[in-house]
Amino acid sequence: MKRLFEKTAVNGMTLENRSVRSATWEGMCDKDGRPTEKLASCYRGLAEGKAGLIITGYAFVRPDGKQMPGTLGIHADDFAAGMRALTQAVHEEGGKICIQLVHTGGQTTTKAAGRPPLAPSAVKAEQFFEVPQEMTRKEIDEIVTAFGDSARRARQYGFDAVQLHAAHGYLINQFLSPLTNRRTDEYGGTVENRCRFLVEVYRRVRIEAGPDFPVLIKLNGSDNLDGGLGLNDAIYAARLMDSEKIDAIEVSGGTPASGEEAPIRKKIDSSEKEGYNLPLAREIKKAVLCPVMAVGGFRSPEVINKALAEDGIDYISMSRPFIREPRLIERWQKGDTTPATCISCNGCFRPGIRGEGIYCVVDKKERQN
């Protein structure tokens, strides 16, 4: 029976427990995406707090794939010193760190990307700020290469794994979704064709990273959106990745256009509201052999251990609870198993927008009173 506090391994990467700090935009990098000492300190704190695996905030593989201010970039070789400081900070505390690779595609803006956004198709979508430009075959090939180059850098910089962001409406998800992919060539139409870009990205990443380096994927089990990626197609994509020897699948759901079923939901104030992507994760777990991670509103050890022991999930990912309590896992491990104190207000992201980096505004206010 799987439990939270047991040691496991993912393609040679040993993890001390089954907790994962899911990718979280921190807003702690320079304008060009260069990591800072503040970000290294953030990751060090998570490792000190015994998070089993730390997944970085989404790191853009090309400048035109950047979305938010202060976002990490892994597109440049001259970031090596800062990147090695990040990985060293985690390793000094006995932790493991995975960098999440992304191109945000049509979900960015001309201002943020420095050019009109690129997407599978030039369609108007609710989650797009502007109508993007349809990608040419040359641009597809160039972005596939950028993902591979970023994976190579990640290994050189000392990261323990990479994760492909194929969820939440970003570029890979845009190819998977019939809503944003209206192409009539080999990249559009059937689910097989809509998975082609994902497969090409994964294969290039695997070549550059090597067979012995963990490659993970964050995949929507559903976009929770009329006309978007649904569970059946998500299962197809998961099986395809499993056959390609992906090392783990983190199951999420929703896009910015998904309303109350968006990726980051508020008012997770009871155990019944926890694990809101578990139904999707369970179905994907039934379809694959590789480890499956579930993310979405986990707050209490009871719900987490039930998901592990009864639902067959292999790892539990959390984001906002770690913003308020970087040492949450250590607290639980020492015997204080009260739920995470995060109230799911999303106030933690406002300081990041202001350039301060994310932090729990509720906790800060309580400490000042």
Q: Count CB neighbours of 7 within 10 A.
A: 10
Average pLDDT per block of 10 residues along the chain, 369 residues long = 91 98 97 97 98 98 97 97 98 98 98 97 96 98 98 98 98 98 98 98 98 98 97 98 98 97 94 97 98 98 96 97 98 97 95 94 88
pLDDT at 61: 98
Residues marked active site are found at 170
313 burial (CB, 10 Å; 0-12 / 13-18 / 19+) is: buried
Supply the pTM of this predicted model: 0.97
Domains and CATH numbers, the chain: 8-368 (3.20.20.70)
For 77, 196, 219, 234, the CA distances from 249, given in Å and listed in that order, are 28, 18, 7, 11
Element (H, E) at 287: helix 278-287
The pLDDT of residue 206 is 98
DSSP run (H or E) holding 54: strand 53-55
**Sign, Cα dihedral of 62, 96, 174, 204:** positive
